[in-house]
Homo-oligomer: A and B are copies of this chain.
Amino acid sequence: MSLLSKGSPRPAKSSKPRLYTARFDPYSAGIRFLLNKKGVDYDFVYINMQDKPEWLADINPAGQIPIMEIGDEIVCETIVIYDYLEDKFPQVKTQPTDPYLKAKDKIFIDHTKEYLTGKITSMVKNPTQENIEYVCSVLKSINKIMGERGTDFLGGTSPNFVDYYLWGWVELLSALKAAHELSFELDKDEYKHYWAWVMKMDKDQHINNDRETHKLNLKCRTAFFKSVINGSPDVNAGL
């Protein structure tokens, strides 16, 4: 479970699908939940994004993770990876087959990316009242969409790629609250569809598998955020 940093040699190719990932990266988390759900037998390589290995830029010139590698095929960009995995491993579906429902899910992800993820990221260092209120307002619009869909998950009777993408981000909120000792709470009635979804997602076996495999719980996330706030990120927190 060691992290690869500057100076670490590039690991030998794998016969399995491989994910280049980072422990505390929410984009990577969504991809891992999905691989889990699809039952793909993959291995992974942890990248230390605070001190990247030199060869990372050879795989992805943008220097970002997650990166999916299958044989000679290397695919980056989270949303592109979702589509690639759906096409590559179609046995377990994680996207609607109906063109319009699929389009609606993609628009949902676009909006989550545009309005929510950047604010949650900036809350790590700046949990201002303004940022908190903004995040709550976006979650309120998500609560509304969940109510309109009227299903247990955004994906229907079980989580799909949109549920996993969103979960990668909202799971951070508890650790952010703990790290900053914030006391805001989303009203149980006002956000009732969102809360019902959170309760179910929290029990999802693929999310729980990931927590166990990657030793990611509230305590170690909180420790990581505290280390970021203090200016020296501890990417090994909890290992």
Contacts and interface: CB of A to CB of B under 8 A. Distances in A.
Interface of A: 73, 75-77, 79-81, 83-84, 87-88, 99-100, 102-104, 106-107, 110
A77 B102 contact: no
Nearest to A110: B77
A119 to B, nearest CB: 17
B73 A87 contact: no
A106 B102 CA distance: 16
Contact of A103 (B83, B104, B107): B83
CB-based closest 10 A-B pairs = A87-B99, A84-B103, A73-B100, A75-B103, A80-B106, A88-B99, A80-B103, A84-B99, A77-B110, A80-B107
A110 B110 CA distance: 13
Contacts of A84: 99-100, 102-103
A102 B83 contact: yes
Nearest to A109: B80
A171 B125 CA distance: 43
Contact of A77 (B75, B76, B80, B106): B106
